[in-house]
Amino acid sequence: MASIARQTPLLRQSCLSAFRSPLASRNAAGVSQTVAFHASAQKQILPPLPQTVEGTLNDPAPVPEPHPSHGSYHWVFERAVCVGLVPLTIAPFAAGSLNPVTDAILCSLLVVHSHVGFDASITDYFPGKRVPKTKTIFSWLLRGFTLTTAVGLYELETNDVGLTETIKRVWKA
């Protein structure tokens, strides 16, 4: 036990030195004045994207041209799809089996809801001005996955038992 007590300061000093930055300044007592992990590193994991400034500091911010599919119409459409999904999701399990037309509407709203949500994520995380090629690639991938999902749900509706019956069967399995 005494040997461990004698080794503890040496062990503590060697462990702390692993976390100290070589650029850390020390005060009069020899204690490091910087934190163990820095918030800003000299080398970042990924380099920053190219940044450009268009115009001068005194130019006003550009106002995009209004478009009917953006802004409040777009927001109202998204909310209408979300609100429409609630009863269509609960009804088949509360009242029994649904009409194939209602099941098809549920599938359509699910596809639209998923597409709009993922498109908003792509727009938020990959802005067209900063990474136009990446945004284009992800937008086309989203369109492909949306089309594939729509065709798959159509096949499930027309050639099989339907979405809600499939969910019921999977739930009971």
- Residues 149 and 111: beta-carbon distance below 8 Å: yes
**Which residue type, as a one-letter code, is found at position 150?**
A
Q: How many other CB atoms sit within 10 Å of the CB of residue 24?
A: 14
* Nearest partner of 162 among 171, 170, 153, judged by Cα: 153
* Nearest partner of 155 among 107, 119, 116, judged by Cα: 107
> Does 73 count as an annotated binding residue?
no
- Residues 109 and 85: beta-carbon distance below 8 Å: yes
> Does 113 count as an annotated binding residue?
yes
For residue 32, the cross-strand partners are 26
Q: Which residues are annotated as a binding site?
A: 113, 125
Q: Which residues are annotated as a binding site for heme b?
A: 113
Q: Which residues are annotated as a binding site for a ubiquinone?
A: 125
